[in-house]
Amino acid sequence: MDKHSPEVVTAIRAITTASNLCQKVRMDLAGRESILKSDRSPVTIADYGSQAIICKFIKQAFPRDTIVAEEDSKELRKPVHSKILKQVTYYVDKSIPGSSTEALCSWIDFGSKVVADRFWALDPIDGTKGFLRGDQYAIALALIENGFTKLGIMACPNLYLDKDRPDGKKGCLFLALRGKGSVQIDIDGGQQRSLSVSRINDPSEATITESVEPDHADHLFHQRLAKKLNISKPRLQMDSQAKYGIVARGEAAIYLRVPSPSEPNYKEKIWDHAAGSIIAEEAGGRVTDIFGHGLDFSCGIKMEKNHGVVVTNGILHDVILEALKV
Ligand code: AMP
Ligand code: MG
């Protein structure tokens, strides 16, 4: 697979179109409206719109492929949510003219919860809480064949392109192909650069990145680990898989995700890690769980065989795994 493969071309078109929809929703008041799903995580107009668009593009190009995706249209179709459905239709129609309500619900439902030998893992908006707060979020899509991620693509519409200009232009598209490296593309087109992780080999000089949400990771444990390794730089808290991009760009050498004490047995979802992990790996990083096991995307929607996640620049990986042993 190379950057001209139909998979890559389709994935870029799908993600870019979805990303534009998300940014439009964010800029409008509509971004504030959300439905609480049964697990109480907020899901917005943009989540649904993004999933509808990406599923439509993928299914159109690859009708036989499975897409494992976070959302379905069950809640959205309820009469109580008719206003939200109308808004989703409005935004999807702007991206794909002529989209009907029924069509977009059927596109959302191309999403399945069962993995296959070859499947796409999609998080239409990763970090919905960040999206609602106006912080970081990502649209993440990966192609997995026989358990191995072949392609990862992620849009981070609110992420600065250049670390030296954090208030400068925003909107990054990350793309990784197995064996071919990782690149960052300006989402508006144009500028492209290949990515590589930091070369730091002294853990005390490293920056750790972690979730913003305290329920998603054990911040206290991360803090203790930082102290143990004499890390004095403040931890960089960021929503979504943008953290993988930050490691791939060399801005943080470590991304820690030790399960939070509020949910110590939490099993990570494949769509939260498939795209991000190949982006960090292809930039030279290493990704495992906290016991050093490789992430297994073949068990189903949950990564049943893994516990937490550790991402590093590779050089520091064994040191971190050792320090994690208490
Ligand atoms: P982040 O922005 O890195 O905190 O990750 C956001 C993702 O965390 C969401 O997409 C959820 O699927 C996932 N999530 C939800 N609950 C938990 C939990 N208890 N532990 C870890 N991740 C979680
Ligand atoms: Mg997510």
Choosing from 66, 89, 101, 128, the catalytic residue is 128
Q: How far is the CA of 260 from the centre of ligand 1 (A)?
A: 10
Max CA separation in the chain (angstroms): 58
Choosing from 16, 17, 47, 72, the catalytic residue is 47
How high is the pLDDT of residue 189? 83
Q: How far is the CA of 211 from the centre of ligand 2 (A)?
A: 12
Mean pLDDT computed over 251-275: 97
* C-alpha to C-alpha distance for 40 and 116, rounded to whole angstroms: 28
How high is the pLDDT of residue 34? 73
* Closest C-alpha to ligand 1, atom 15: 216
**Residue 47 annotated in active site:** yes
The pTM (predicted TM-score) of the whole model is 0.96
List, for residues 12-46, the tens digit of each pLDDT value. 999 999 999 999 998 886 666 777 766 656 678 99
Q: How far is the CA of 216 from the centre of ligand 1 (A)?
A: 5
Query: Is 156 a residue whose pLDDT tops 80?
Result: yes
- Ligand 1 atom with the smallest distance to the CA of 213 is 4
**Residue 312 annotated in active site:** no
How high is the pLDDT of residue 43? 76
DSSP-derived pairing of the beta strands 208-210 and 236-237: parallel
* Closest C-alpha to ligand 1, atom 6: 127
List, for residues 95-116, the tens digit of each pLDDT value. 999 999 999 999 999 999 999 9
* C-alpha to C-alpha distance for 33 and 139, rounded to whole angstroms: 19
Exposed, middle or buried by CB within 10 Å (0-12, 13-18, 19+), for 62? middle
